[in-house]
Amino acid sequence: MEFSTRSGRPEALKAQCLLVFAEAGGKLGAAARALDAKHGGVIAAAIKRGDLTGKSAQVLALADGAVRIVVVGLGKVAEANETGWLKAMRAGLDAVLASAAHDLTVCLDGHPVRRRDAGWYASQIAQMALHATQRPDQMKSKREDPPKLAKISVWAESEADQARIARGLRHGQAIGEGATLARELGNLPANVCTPSYLADRAEALGKEAGLKVQVFDEKAIAKMDMGSFLSVARGSAEPPRFIVLRYQGAAKDDPPVALVGKGVTFDTGGISIKPSGEMDEMKYDMCGAASVFGTLHAVAQLKLPINVVGIIPATENMPGGKATKPGDIVTSMSGQTIEILNTDAEGRLILCDALTYAKEKVKPVLAIDIATLTGACVIALGHVASGLYSNDDKLAKELLDAGHAAWDRAWHMPLWDDYQQQLSSNFADMGNIGGRPGGSITAACFLSRFTRDMKWAHLDIAGTAWVSGKAKGATGRPVGLLTEFLISRSGGDRDAA
């Protein structure tokens, strides 16, 4: 998909398809009125007929000869918010995708959501277009025809807005393509997307994006004393991999941001096996890892002046004759011992060693881990916000702001010492579960025991990394939040307008 900005008088716009907005009551902006006049009053006629009221997410596809005009209702603009605008835009885009149009020009006529500038809309349009045109049909014997739409332009009147749009499209395309990669990896079945497959894809991404990639096999992992990580891999016939990807956009000695992604390519629960209903969705238990791939892809595309290290512990969690048993005690890379009371709380067992690796070997300015960690987080926050934990309130605020900017939102959860006692064990330094109360919080508390003396944040994406039901599929979150965070930390991309 190609994206560009457009300027000039709206009536001079040439496109196979034009998308304009209408407010409640069929109120049109100046650009829509000018286009309407040029195209024989087709929009005004639709309003007069009563076909177009401008109610939220209403879509009307009109035509004037060869030119398609898609009008999207925004409802009452005084009540407009991001969610409503995105829903309306998506409805309009779907109508365009159902047509045979190769190119589309979106006329941003005014900014219905007051807090947002033209760049935000442009970024969302780019991300949405890349999401809407991605079909998770790699494994189908007959793939659908690819969508015809290949070019999207965004028009706005003022020069200042055009500059914002150019920037928004550049960021939106990078985020969107990163999220596309994350969705692709997430949607692959676990018999394809194994730990070794992720390692191969890391090497491929390294070549494509100019990253240094290191892959540690089981022996090398054992040599690093990652007893906790290895305890999860024991039950599986698929060997684990520990993957490190390095992007260098700043001076060599500039300490990097570390992104640590949970890469459980399938989570059966192990000996504490899960019930079989919807267990297929546990192929998504590597979506944290996928978001690290996607974010590095975006960062490299934007050539951000920052160093970033991606760290991915990848393994299956399977039952088996050699599998870890409830009550087994293992020694983590940090030296702390863990009584594994539930083998289904495996994410924290692989992340704790990856975080210790980050702290000891990478020495980052800060580390963020991203994990489909707990069902409890889904109960707490549903499928809207990712759970955010941090041992540094300033970092938490930066991440919350990035999530709001990218519209890939997180919510700050408590990491108070009061919860730590739930992890105590009679036999080891800690247990790996804290009981049902505050299950997402105690998982974060477990990780906090491995990130002392390091600025650290944890994103629990169990509710946000994929959607279930008829539209089942990975979302590509939180590539938007992470990329926006890195853009803002690095002070913008090098080609910034």
Residue numbers annotated as active site = 274, 348
CB atoms within 10 A of CB 497: 13
- Measured in whole angstroms, how far is the alpha carbon of residue 129 from the centre of its chain? 15
The Cβ-side half-sphere exposure at 436, using a 13 Å CA radius, reads 1
In whole angstroms, give the CA distance from residue 152 to residue 105. Answer: 6
Q: Rule CB under 6 A: is residue 342 a binding residue for ligand BES?
A: yes
Note whether 73 and 44 are within 8 A (CB). no
**Backbone phi and psi for residue 24, each to the nearest 5 degrees, phi listed first:** -50, 140
Which of 347, 403, 431, 438 touches ligand BES by CB under 6 A? 347
Work out whether 267 is an interface residue with Mn ion (CB under 5 A): yes
Taking CB under 6 A as the criterion, the residue among 205, 345, 351, 354 binding ligand BES is: 345
Q: 317-355 burial string, b = 16+ CB within 10 Å, else e?
A: bbbeeebbeeebbbbbbbebbbbbbebbbbbbbbbbbbb
Q: Single out the segment in contact with Zn ion by CB under 5 A; choices: 149-157, 263-271, 305-313, 488-496.
A: 263-271
Pick the closest to residue 345 from 414, 425, 277, 447 (CA basis). 447
Stretch that binds ligand BES, among 63-71, 188-196, 343-351, 475-483 (CB under 6 A): 343-351
Write down the least CB distance from residue 387 to ligand BES, Å. Answer: 11
**What b/e string do you get for 455-481 counting C-beta neighbours within 10 Å, with b at 16 or more?**
bbbbbbbbbbbbeeeeeebbbbbbbbb
Please report how close the Cβ of residue 341 comes to Mn ion at its closest, in angstroms: 13
Round to whole Å and give the CA distance between 215 and 288. Answer: 18
Instruction: Give 214 or 342: the residue with its C-beta nearer to ligand BES.
Output: 342
Nearest Cα residue to 200 out of 187, 217, 183: 217
Q: What is the token pair recorded at 109? A: 């006529």
- Output 354 or 462, the one with its CB closest to ligand BES: 462
Residues 359 and 456: their CA atoms lie apart, in Å, by 10
Min CB(272)–Zn ion separation in Å: 11
460 lies in the binding site for Zn ion (CB under 5 A): no
Give the nearer residue to Mn ion in terms of CB position, either 238 or 344.
Answer: 344
Cα 104 → chain centroid: 26
Regarding 344 and contact with Mn ion (CB under 5 A), the answer is yes
Query: What does the alpha-carbon distance between residue 320 and residue 278 come to, in Å, rounded to a whole number?
Result: 21
Each residue 210-249 as x (binds Zn ion by CB under 5 A) or -, in order, gives ----------------------------------------
User: Which of 334, 328, 363 is closest to 224 using CA atoms?
Assistant: 334
Residue 285 interacting with Zn ion (CB under 5 A): yes
CA distances to 42, 51, 74, 255, 267 from 27, in Å = 14, 13, 10, 53, 52
Q: Which is nearer to Mn ion, 176 or 270 (CB)?
A: 270
| Number of residues forming the site for Mn ion (CB under 5 A) | 3
376's contact among Zn ion, ligand BES, Mn ion, none, with CB below 5 to 8 A by partner kind, is: ligand BES
- Position among 346, 353, 398, 408 found at the interface with ligand BES (CB under 6 A): 346
Residue 375 interacts with, from Zn ion, ligand BES, Mn ion, none (CB under 5-8 Å by kind):
ligand BES
User: Which residue's CB is nearer to Zn ion, number 153 or number 317?
Assistant: 317
Cβ burial 377-406 (10 Å sphere, 16+ → b, else e): bbebbeeebbbbbbbeeebbebbbebbebb
- Count Cβ atoms within 10 A of the Cβ of residue 78 and give its class: 0-12 exposed, 13-18 middle, 19 or more buried: exposed
Supply 426's token pair.
């009679």
For Zn ion, which stretch binds (CB under 5 A), given 105-113, 226-234, 328-336, 339-347? Answer: 339-347
Q: How many residues at the interface with Zn ion, by CB under 5 A?
A: 4
If one asks whether residue 285 binds ligand BES (CB under 6 A), the answer comes out as yes
> 372 or 451, CB closer to Mn ion?
372
In angstroms, give the least distance from the CB of 165 to Zn ion.
40
Shortest CB 168 distance to ligand BES, Å? 32
CB of 271 to ligand BES, least distance (A): 12
Q: Which is nearer to ligand BES, 375 or 473 (CB)?
A: 375
Q: Which residue is nearest to ligand BES (CB)?
A: 375
Map the footprint of ligand BES across residues 365-424, applying CB under 6 A.
372-376, 378
- Ranked by CB distance to Zn ion, the top (closest) residue is 267
Q: How far apart are CA 263 and CA 371, in angstroms?
A: 8
List residues binding Zn ion (CB under 5 A). 264, 267, 285, 347
List residues binding ligand BES (CB under 6 A). 267, 285, 342, 344-347, 372-376, 378, 433, 439, 462
List residues binding Mn ion (CB under 5 A). 267, 344, 346
